[in-house]
Amino acid sequence: MSECSHDCSKCSEKCASRDKSSFLAPQNPLSNVKHVIGIVSGKGGVGKSIVTSMLATIMQRRGYQSAVLDADITGPSIPRGFGLKPASVVGDENGMFPPKTKTGIEVMSLNLLVEEEAKPVVWRGPVIAGTVKQFWSEVVWNEVDYMFVDMPPGTGDVPLTVFQSLPLDGIIIVASPQELVSMIVSKAIKMANLMDINVLGLVENMSYFKCPDCGKEYKIFGDSNIEKLAEEYGIPLLARIPIDPRLTKLVDSGAIELFEGDYLENAADIIEKV
Ligand code: ADP
């Protein structure tokens, strides 16, 4: 065995420091989270947060208790979609209590702790990763059936630490057709494989736009190779979500829980079997 560089992403040795459990942050003693699903993307702005919010909503509609941990610390957009207000977290000696959405989904996000949502988070990587660990260890999550983690985008240092800190049952990768033709998605899949994390499937967002007048579908971002990619890596293609201005409107008005459409039912079926 060669000398350890402490960079597991560049090494395939099955050594003790690779033991996943050694990196896991402890769950709060008062929390009982049964399943943790990470929602991942190669870059920001592709719809990771909206997919996270919609999946949490579907599982809540199906009678489960959902929760969302917003680990996208530098671009936290989960509270806005659910209409949750800044500085709305209360706590006591046991930890912080996650605010609940209108349908009862528990949410924790940096934007729920700060007074000013628009202030940028100018923090170094370890501080960001430490905050995510605190959201897991110092938040009193109740009985949660499915927790969805809106992961920091990319395959850098921060997502790597978050991947190692939380007991993920699996991840769902969200991408737009543009990234699918590049290497970004392949990189995210390879990173998950390297870390022994189960990829539950791919979601293609902003796949097309359906003209409300004539019903014709337009591929605004061009054709994607998602089917080829899914086949190449043996990963299911879970959904193709169109560009739908009604979704943008619901997010902007804090009412994402009212979304209609069955785009993500397939993904929810897979999550139910985790
Ligand atoms: P990310 O979490 O990947 O940064 P978001 O989920 O915040 O991306 O989405 C970026 C923006 O695009 C948001 O304003 C969101 O409402 C909008 N958006 C995402 N997906 C769709 C879609 N399918 N149709 C319409 N608007 C969308």
Per residue in 46-92, pLDDT (tens digit) is 999 999 999 999 999 999 999 999 999 988 899 999 999 998 899 99
Please state the pTM of the whole predicted model: 0.91
15 lies in a domain? no
23 lies in a domain? no
Atom of ligand 1 nearest to the CA of 50: 6
Confidence of residue 182 (pLDDT cuts 50, 70, 90): low
CA distance 175 to 188: 10
Q: Report the nearest-CA residue for atom 23 of ligand 1.
A: 243
120 lies in a domain? yes
Q: For the chain, what is the domain count? A: 1
What is the Cα 49 distance to its own chain's centre?
Answer: 7
Across 184-194, average pLDDT: 88
CATH number at residue 225: 3.40.50.300
In the numeric block, which tokens belong to residue 231? 């086949």
207 within ligand 1 shell (Cβ under 6 A) = no
Nearest to 121 by CA among 130, 111, 112: 111
92 lies in a domain? yes
What pLDDT, on a 0 to 100 scale, did the predictor assign at position 12? 63
What pLDDT, on a 0 to 100 scale, did the predictor assign at position 35? 98
Which range of residues forms the domain containing residue 138? Answer: 30-273
Q: Is the pLDDT of residue 179 over 80?
A: no
224 lies in a domain? yes
What pLDDT, on a 0 to 100 scale, did the predictor assign at position 7? 57
- How many whole angstroms from 77 Cα to the centroid of ligand 1? 10
4 lies in a domain? no
49 within ligand 1 shell (Cβ under 6 A) = yes
Q: Is the pLDDT of residue 218 over 70?
A: yes
HEC states along the chain? CCCCCCCHHHCCCCCHHHCHHHHCCCCCCCCEEEEEEEEEECCCCCCHHHHHHHHHHHHHHCCCCEEEEECCCCCCCHHHHHCCCCCCCEEECCEEECCECCCCCEEECHHHCCCCCCCCCCCCHHHHHHHHHHHHHCECCCEEEEEEEECCCCCCHHHHHHHHHCCCCEEEEEECHHHHCCCHHHHHHHHHHHCCCCEEEEEEECCCEECCCCCCEECCCCCCCHHHHHHHHCCCEEEEECCCHHHHHHHHCCCHHHCCCCCCHHHHHHHHCC
The residue ranking higher by pLDDT, 114 or 144, is 144
Across 212-236, average pLDDT: 89
97 lies in a domain? yes
11 lies in a domain? no
CA distance 247 to 250: 5
203 within ligand 1 shell (Cβ under 6 A) = no
- How many whole angstroms from 51 Cα to the centroid of ligand 1? 8
152 within ligand 1 shell (Cβ under 6 A) = no
In the numeric block, which tokens belong to residue 19? 């033991």
